[in-house]
């Protein structure tokens, strides 16, 4: 049985209150045990999509950076590029959004470093022998970091029912190629109207599956689904089907999460913010009203346990499940059961309420 620690906090809390509560939570959960002197330590977070207002504020990252530095590590903020058309679909754009949303060195105390590089393709292939994959592609800075703190904003999710710590690990730490592998059930295809015929996708295609005349075209008999065309296209001309869901998606996320967890045994801590819980994850550029009253912040050394605990807390606070308020028909517990079967943690937990005084 794993322990999950909870301190009450709400959206009205100022930076000083956030820092005080997180320091108490840090000590109670033993998060310092994840770090060693001189570690290059990742603080994996989500800086929010432009137009979004309910992502975890920089004050939380600033408080955690201070606590990490007290362990003698060099922390850096990090996240990976997205597949869809966004300013966050490349390293420089992602860094600019982080700055605009307040995740600056002056405000937080650590730089934002895109984990998967300039185009979302800096990755390390990791053997996992998983449910769906033998190997997976994880963002290189995630793999090279000696230790990590995973800061998660809990939300609903279209595919799995829960945007929690496991999704932050499995999807959030993956390169563009890996995200494509997790999501799509088809080969990429070219939108001829959007394509400029520049030839960049053909230049980067490792299997020579792309040819360019008036516009690019993909030979699906040669395509290996690596995602290089998506990573390198700057015109939004490469499309793909989002047809994978249910059991396949759960297992694919778990396979990628396993690569990160197994690489750093005992060196990853989890902090989950159950404040401003919304229907959709922070990748959508929508202003959304929270689904329920704020709960607080949780911490654990177990990603499965912390996801299970936050689902139970949401049900108890709202009187109904997160899935029923966001995407009925989804069952988030199935994602947790898959991860538990793969040895990433346990759904059996003890909730410890921490006195913030």
Each domain of the chain, given as residue ranges in start order, spans 2-182+244-353, 186-239
Mean pLDDT, range 63-91, rounded to an integer: 94
Tokens matching residue 224: 């290996």
Question: How is domain 2-182+244-353 classified at the CATH fold level?
Answer: Rossmann fold (3.40.50)
Directed axis angle between helix 15-29 and helix 58-69, to 10°? 50
User: 225-253 pLDDT, tens per residue?
Assistant: 666 787 678 888 887 655 555 678 888 99
Question: How is domain 186-239 classified at the CATH fold level?
Answer: Alpha-Beta Plaits (3.30.70)
User: 206-221 pLDDT, tens per residue?
Assistant: 778 899 999 999 998 8
Residues belonging to the chain: 357
Q: Report pLDDT for 148.
A: 98
Mean pLDDT, range 162-171, rounded to an integer: 95
Q: For 55, phi and psi rounded to 5 degrees?
A: -65, 165
Read off the pLDDT band of 317 (50, 70, 90). very high
Of 236, 136, 226, 155, which is closest to residue 187 (Cα–Cα)?
226
Mean pLDDT, range 311-335, rounded to an integer: 93
pTM, full prediction: 0.86
Mean pLDDT, range 266-274, rounded to an integer: 98
Q: Report pLDDT for 33.
A: 98
Flag whether pLDDT at 201 surpasses 70.
Answer: yes
Strands (E) in the chain, as ranges, are 2-7, 40-44, 74-78, 123-127, 135-139, 147-153, 189-190, 210-212, 216-218, 238-239, 268-274, 296-300, 349-353
Read off the pLDDT band of 11 (50, 70, 90). very high
Of 271, 269, 280, which is closest to residue 55 (Cα–Cα)?
280
């Amino acid at each position: 049985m794993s322990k999950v620690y909870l301190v009450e906090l709400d959206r009205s809390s100022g930076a000083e209150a956030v820092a005080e509560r997180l320091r108490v939570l840090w000590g109670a959960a033993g998060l310092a045990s994840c770090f060693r002197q001189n570690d290059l330590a990742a603080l994996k977070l989500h800086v929010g999509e432009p137009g979004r207002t309910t992502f975890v504020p920089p004050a939380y990252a600033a408080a955690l950076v201070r606590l990490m530095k007290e362990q003698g590590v060099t922390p850096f903020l990090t996240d990976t590029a997205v597949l869809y058309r966004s300013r966050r679909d490349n390293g420089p754009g992602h860094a600019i959004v982080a700055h605009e949303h307040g995740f600056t060195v002056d405000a937080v105390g650590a730089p934002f470093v895109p984990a998967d590089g300039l185009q979302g393709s800096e990755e390390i292939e990791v053997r996992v022998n998983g449910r769906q994959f033998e190997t997976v592609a994880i963002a290189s800075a995630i793999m090279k970091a000696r230790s990590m703190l995973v800061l998660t904003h809990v939300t609903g999710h279209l595919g799995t029912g829960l945007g929690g710590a496991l999704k932050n690990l499995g999807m959030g730490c993956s390169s563009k190629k890996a995200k494509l592998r997790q999501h799509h059930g088809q080969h990429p295809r070219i939108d001829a109207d959007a394509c400029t015929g520049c030839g960049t996708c053909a230049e980067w295609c490792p299997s020579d599956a792309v040819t360019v005349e008036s516009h690019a075209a993909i030979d699906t008999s040669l395509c290996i689904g690596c995602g290089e065309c998506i990573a390198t296209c700057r015109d939004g001309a490469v499309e793909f089907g989002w047809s994978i869901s249910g059991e396949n998606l759960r297992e694919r996320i778990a396979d990628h999460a396993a690569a990160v967890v197994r690489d750093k045994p005992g060196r990853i801590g989890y902090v989950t913010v159950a404040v401003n819980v919304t229907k959709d994850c922070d990748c959508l550029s929508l202003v959304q009203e929270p689904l329920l009253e704020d709960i607080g912040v949780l911490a654990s050394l177990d990603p499965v346990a912390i996801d299970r605990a936050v689902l139970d807390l949401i049900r108890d606070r709202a009187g109904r499940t997160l899935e029923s308020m966001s995407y009925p028909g989804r069952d988030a517990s199935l994602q947790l059961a898959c991860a538990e079967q793969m040895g990433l943690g346990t759904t059996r937990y003890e909730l410890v309420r921490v006195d913030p005084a």
